[in-house]
Chains A and B, each alone.
Chain A
Amino acid sequence: MPEIYHFKGGIHPPEHKATTAGLPLQTAPLQESYMVPLIQHIGAEPSVVVKKKDRVCKGQLLAEAGGFVSSPIHAPTSGTVKNIGECRSPSGKTTAAIEITSDGEDEFDSGLTPIDNWQEHDAKELIDRISSAGIVGMGGAAFPTHVKLSPPPSKTIDTLIINGAECEPCLTADHRLMLEEREKIIAGARLLGHILGVDPEKGIYLAIEDNKPDAMEQMEEVIASREINLAQVPTNYPQGAEKQLIYALTGRQVPSGGLPMDVGCVVQNVATARAVAEAVTEGMPLLERPLTITGTPMMRAGNWRHRIGTTLETVIRLAGGIKQQPAKLIIGGPMMGIAVSSLDIPIVKGTSGIVLQSREEVSQFTSGPCISCGRCVDNCPMRIMPGSLSKYIENERFDLAEQWNVMDCIECGCCAYVCPTSRPLVQHFKRAKTEITARRKAAAAKKEETGDSDNK
């Protein structure tokens, strides 16, 4: 067991995991149609390679990556392309999507040949496979995995962390995955380690929060040969956040504005590791994902495998519907998820859960002035000053907010969770980050313009 470094700050919200932690992942039955959004990742929009009324097989390419930082999408089942149009996105706007009508055959042909002896293949080939299988980070951020696996030659990667922390309250899908598909997760971990050239015994870690001792035990059994290292990390939200997890296992701090690769680390979620293993050894693109459907208003909370493109309505219907009207419908976990007001939003590659909250559970208050109590300061895992920042942003002093490191905010929500006057701190920081990014872009564009005119 490696030495664990404790990051400063963090909170202990009620976990609400007991409801679903013991329930095995159920595979959803085949649906009549799927709505597959084009952009399910961070990066460029993929370009569609099918036409309306085309017949497609399960796993067939629907749209190819629109650049290096992009990811292709594939048909979740066999059938016909009903429409290439739009669907609702979690933000409430619409986004480009392809609708597939199922033919009920579920005939698989991804065109990707299984690679059995991956140890004998070089990294480039395997990265290409991961890229063409449309694998993105399944922990929530949905950053294309092949990009994370392709650090520039100047960066040496010595540590690969497989993230099984699952620190978000309510969510248990990763937990179930570790219990039920440990072999695939470990195979994926070793495969990723092979690609990155990381020494498995020294540099591959599987990190699990100590609130999941059964997952720890299960993993210990199969890791007995010490192929990779198990690391039990303390339950402290946001332990599973990339920067906090890297710190916990290595004591290294990802520099402000930097990436994990700057400190020689790559972090991949357990579901991603599993998807990587399937992509390589089975030629299976990313077509489905595990997710938790939970909350007191749900008739039957549980863990499911849903295909990408299944709408929230179907997801809730399959879980028996609701027993009381929810006040909030959240995509993701309750700390960082997005509250939505529509049921026609599809499950995407980054959807880790659906959480419904009843009226009594919804923490909606009128916000008050900052009383400078410092609770946010004490609990911020990025060690910035949320209280003061929120005051700057209220006064639209984005320059001060930038100076005082608002860009370091990871939007984990610890500050707002403990704020006694219920200030919408995360909302302020999201606003400031958007504003500052736009200003930086504008400034860079202006600089380029003036630079050009100087040259003339």
Chain B
Amino acid sequence: MNGVNVQLPDTSQLIVSSSPHLHDRQNARKIMLTIILTLLPACVVGVYLFGWQAAKVLILTSLACVVLERLFCKWRGSRATTEDGSALLTGLLLGMVLPAASPWWICLLGALLAMGLGKHLYGGLGYNIFNPALVGRAALLIAFPQYMTTWAEPMPGKLFPDAVTTATPLDQISQGATAQATNYWDFFLGNMPGCIGETSALALLAGGAVLVYFRYIRWQMPVSYIGTVALITGIAYLAAPETNATPLFHVLTGGLILGAVYMATDPVTSPMSIKGVWIGGAVCGIITAAIRLGGNYPEGVNFSILFMNALVPLIDRYTPNKPFGHADKPRTEKGQK
């Protein structure tokens, strides 16, 4: 054969590493950026409804979170993780759960709380216990309730809407109004007062469908969460239809869909196994329904997800997959060979 001119590998250039030598080329950056893209329709709806101030809030929180991520990473002396898109996602989500009329300093303070208290205090990406955006929002809600519960009247298509305040559907229910004149179609499309990014069920569900298709989120979480809310509010409605809203009302209003699709599914702060996800979703659903039906706050999505986050280590401990070849116990007893 042509033994003379055969070229052989230069062994000094060979890379040695542990198997496997293939990767599916998915990475955190790709996942985060896809999630951000799927959020944009809901953001567009928010800006369409609430005008330029909504855009201002979204841009402020997003930029602030990215800048803060860089600063915190530098301060902690760790590799900058801004390029993975997680800070941008946190910023965008934070903006989406703020009222459109939030002043600039609320936005910046929220970003600081989210990135500092919610994320980097624990060691940054992967180590935080609570969803950073929701930590930011919860802290703002407790500290500045007046700003966090002032809702602008949606004025579709008006770039500079008049400053007319109103109450969200859940506020009205919580204040004793009964939901007779509900227009579910408006709710589904998003034409109602609320946080910037939470109003349009259509946009959020479409985004969620894309994420489920790519397997970036587990469908079990939103199904479990929303299903539990629907179940409990459904029972409440059947028990007292004159004072309680319908389950469909509860599903479509407030931040439930945004929370169930985009917040409770945050990989870092949600359970690891599918069994755990079902339980985590149910925990969120029970607490959301409990707060909405009986609590002081009209809305319970924010606190319920944070509560679930706190339970994740416990849920993970008790819901591992049953390992192959183990007849009963998923965990080897100590000292067993």
Contact A380 B321 (CB under 8 A): yes
- Determine, out of A122-130, A179-187, A334-342, the stretch whose residues face the partner at the interface: A334-342
Q: What residues of B have a CB within 8 angstroms of the CB of A337 in the complex? A: 19, 21
Convert A280-293 into 0s and 1s, putting 1 for each residue whose CB lies closer than 8 angstroms to a CB of B: 00000000000000
In the complex, what's the smallest C-beta–C-beta distance from A435 to chain B, in angstroms?
15
- Determine, out of A36-44, A249-257, A266-274, A301-309, the stretch whose residues face the partner at the interface: A249-257
- The chain B residue with its CB closest to the CB of A444 is B337
- Determine, out of B69-77, B192-200, B222-230, B265-273, the stretch whose residues face the partner at the interface: B265-273
Contact B332 A387 (CB under 8 A): no
Interface of A is mostly: loop
Contact A321 B20 (CB under 8 A): no
Query: Which of chain B's residues 120-167 have a Cβ closer than 8 Å to chain A?
Result: 124-127
A4 is an interface residue with CB less than 8 A from chain B: no
Contact A368 B126 (CB under 8 A): yes
Contact A430 B21 (CB under 8 A): no
Contact B22 A342 (CB under 8 A): no
B3 is an interface residue with CB less than 8 A from chain A: yes
Contact B28 A420 (CB under 8 A): yes
Contact A413 B324 (CB under 8 A): no
Q: What residues of B have a CB within 8 angstroms of the CB of A388 in the complex? A: 272, 316
Q: What residues of B have a CB within 8 angstroms of the CB of A440 in the complex? A: 337
Q: What residues of A have a CB within 8 angstroms of the CB of B326 in the complex? A: 255-256, 405, 408
Convert A359-393 into 0s and 1s, putting 1 for each residue whose CB lies closer than 8 angstroms to a CB of B: 00011110011111111011011111101100000
Convert B20-40 into 0s and 1s, putting 1 for each residue whose CB lies closer than 8 angstroms to a CB of A: 111111111011000000000
* A323-B7, A356-B9, A371-B28 known; A335-B320 Cβ under 8 A: no
- The chain B residue with its CB closest to the CB of A357 is B21
Contact B325 A404 (CB under 8 A): no
- Determine, out of A79-87, A188-196, A217-225, A325-333, the stretch whose residues face the partner at the interface: A325-333
Contact B7 A417 (CB under 8 A): no
Choose among B15, B268, B272 the residue that contacts A362 (Cβ–Cβ < 8 A): B15
Contact B124 A369 (CB under 8 A): yes
Contact A339 B6 (CB under 8 A): no
A23 is an interface residue with CB less than 8 A from chain B: no
Q: What residues of A have a CB within 8 angstroms of the CB of B269 in the complex? A: 372
Q: What residues of A have a CB within 8 angstroms of the CB of B7 in the complex? A: 299, 321-323
Contact A382 B23 (CB under 8 A): no
* A243-B324, A387-B272 known; A316-B11 Cβ under 8 A: no
Contact B18 A427 (CB under 8 A): yes
Contact A343 B21 (CB under 8 A): no
In the complex, what's the smallest C-beta–C-beta distance from A340 to chain B, in angstroms?
7
Choose among B21, B125, B277 the residue that contacts A369 (Cβ–Cβ < 8 A): B125
Q: How far apart are the CA atoms of A28 and B89 in the complex, in Å?
A: 57
A141 is an interface residue with CB less than 8 A from chain B: no
Residue pairs across A and B with CB atoms within 8 Å: the count is 213
B323 is an interface residue with CB less than 8 A from chain A: yes
Q: How far apart are the CA atoms of A253 and B323 in the complex, in Å?
A: 10
A205 is an interface residue with CB less than 8 A from chain B: no
Q: How far apart are the CA atoms of A254 and B323 in the complex, in Å?
A: 11
Query: Which of chain B's residues 322-337 have a Cβ closer than 8 Å to chain A?
Result: 322-327, 330-334, 337
* A339-B14, A343-B9, A364-B15 known; A416-B20 Cβ under 8 A: yes
Interface size on A, residues (CB 8 A): 87
Contact B332 A405 (CB under 8 A): yes
Query: Which of chain B's residues 299-337 have a Cβ closer than 8 Å to chain A?
Result: 316, 320-327, 330-334, 337
- The chain B residue with its CB closest to the CB of A373 is B267
* A363-B23, A422-B27 known; A403-B11 Cβ under 8 A: no
* A371-B126, A385-B272 known; A404-B331 Cβ under 8 A: yes
Q: What residues of A have a CB within 8 angstroms of the CB of B296 in the complex? A: none
Contact B31 A420 (CB under 8 A): yes
B67 is an interface residue with CB less than 8 A from chain A: no
A264 is an interface residue with CB less than 8 A from chain B: no
A411 is an interface residue with CB less than 8 A from chain B: yes
Q: What residues of A have a CB within 8 angstroms of the CB of B333 in the complex? A: 403
In the complex, what's the smallest C-beta–C-beta distance from B113 to chain A, in angstroms?
21
In the complex, what's the smallest C-beta–C-beta distance from B119 to chain A, in angstroms?
12
Contact B325 A334 (CB under 8 A): no
Q: What residues of B have a CB within 8 angstroms of the CB of A369 in the complex? A: 124-127
B171 is an interface residue with CB less than 8 A from chain A: no
Query: Which of chain A's residues 397-429 have a Cβ closer than 8 Å to chain B?
Result: 399, 402-405, 408, 411-413, 416-422, 424, 426-427
A151 is an interface residue with CB less than 8 A from chain B: no
* A365-B27, A383-B321, A384-B321 known; A413-B20 Cβ under 8 A: yes
Known: A335-B20, A405-B332. 17 other contacts (CB 8 A): A92-B16, A255-B326, A317-B8, A321-B6, A321-B8, A335-B22, A339-B21, A341-B11, A363-B21, A371-B267, A371-B268, A372-B268, A388-B316, A416-B20, A417-B20, A420-B31, A427-B18
Would you give 27 A-B contacts (Cβ < 8 Å), ordered by A? A253-B325, A255-B326, A255-B327, A316-B8, A321-B8, A328-B14, A328-B17, A339-B14, A339-B15, A339-B17, A365-B23, A368-B84, A369-B125, A369-B126, A372-B267, A374-B277, A377-B272, A378-B274, A381-B324, A383-B322, A385-B272, A385-B320, A404-B332, A405-B323, A408-B324, A408-B325, A416-B19
> Could you list which residues of chain B lie within 8 angstroms of chain A, going by C-beta atoms?
1-3, 6-28, 30-31, 81, 84, 124-127, 215, 218, 267-274, 277, 316, 320-327, 330-334, 337
